[in-house]
Amino acid sequence: MSSRSAVSVCGIALSNPVIAASGTYGYGVEFKRLADLGEIGGIVVKGLSREPMDGNPAPRLYETSSGMINSVGLQNIGVRAFAAEKLPELRGAGPAIFANVFGYAVDDYTEVVRVLEDAEGVAAYELNVSCPNTKHGGIYFSTDCALLSELVAAVRRVAKRPVIVKLSPNVARIEPFACAAEDAGADAISLVNTFVALAIDAETRRPRIGAGFGGLSGPAIKPIALRMVYEAARAVKIPVIGMGGIANGIDAAEFLIAGASAVEVGTANFWDPESPVRIARELDRFLERQKLASVRDLVGTLKMN
């Protein structure tokens, strides 16, 4: 990868702007034999909770037209096991390591971050706010600006590393939530998370997913994701990390043009574990064809008129 691909996002140096998205690349270590991790800008590990979680009943994945519905249920080994067993093996692999953090109350998030603050090798935290706050009657952090602000501010008080907030697209307008995250102390935002969706088996008249509803991702959501990234990037001054259906280097370039400073690749990893490496190379070749000295020259260059 050439030097023109190098970027910095909230002070974190990345060899290129392509990051493997949370929930699609395990804890990173599982992919060491499948891809050259050193050629990926970063890896967001699967969501970490304060205690281990078993996740949702099977089936958890269902392929749709130009996409995928998943309802894994945030299965994970817990933050302490990750810090003790997975992170040491991942350190030194090359990419920046982002810890995806989730919970069902503010204290859950802050406790996970406290544990990780003592761990070496984490570059930043990405807060998955698409969870219901059980202390507030099941209201989702991602759909209530006040709850989102409370959560981000609480994590900001305990985190010495950068805090990235991963926003949900399941809202009427994304700008208020992007601004709420920024005002509460977020160093960057990432979007979009999956769209709430339903697939039905007409023969059995039952959902295709064990938990009923799931999250839709993949190329089908890319046009909506691009629009929301553009809107969010115009609303805030902090960096935006874009995602949603990225499958090749041109897709990645489109998100950068919309205003993203970096991108995350998710669903494509399920059918091609080398997707982040391939997409980074394709993006680099695009920059060369465009005669751009730096990927930064592409960011926010959309001409709407």
Structural domain includes residue 192: yes
pLDDT for position 131: 85
Structural domain includes residue 303: no
Structural domain includes residue 62: no
Strand partners, 262: 241
pLDDT for position 47: 96
Structural domain includes residue 61: no
- Domain region containing 240: 3-56+73-197+216-297
Structural domain includes residue 64: no
Task: Look up the CATH number of the domain holding residue 183.
Answer: 3.20.20.70
Structural domain includes residue 202: no
pLDDT for position 81: 98
pLDDT for position 236: 98
Name residues of the chain where pLDDT drops below 70.
Answer: none
pLDDT for position 2: 85
* Residues annotated catalytic, as ranges: 131
pLDDT for position 70: 95
pLDDT for position 305: 80
pLDDT for position 200: 98
pLDDT for position 197: 96
Domain count, the chain: 1
Structural domain includes residue 31: yes
Structural domain includes residue 259: yes
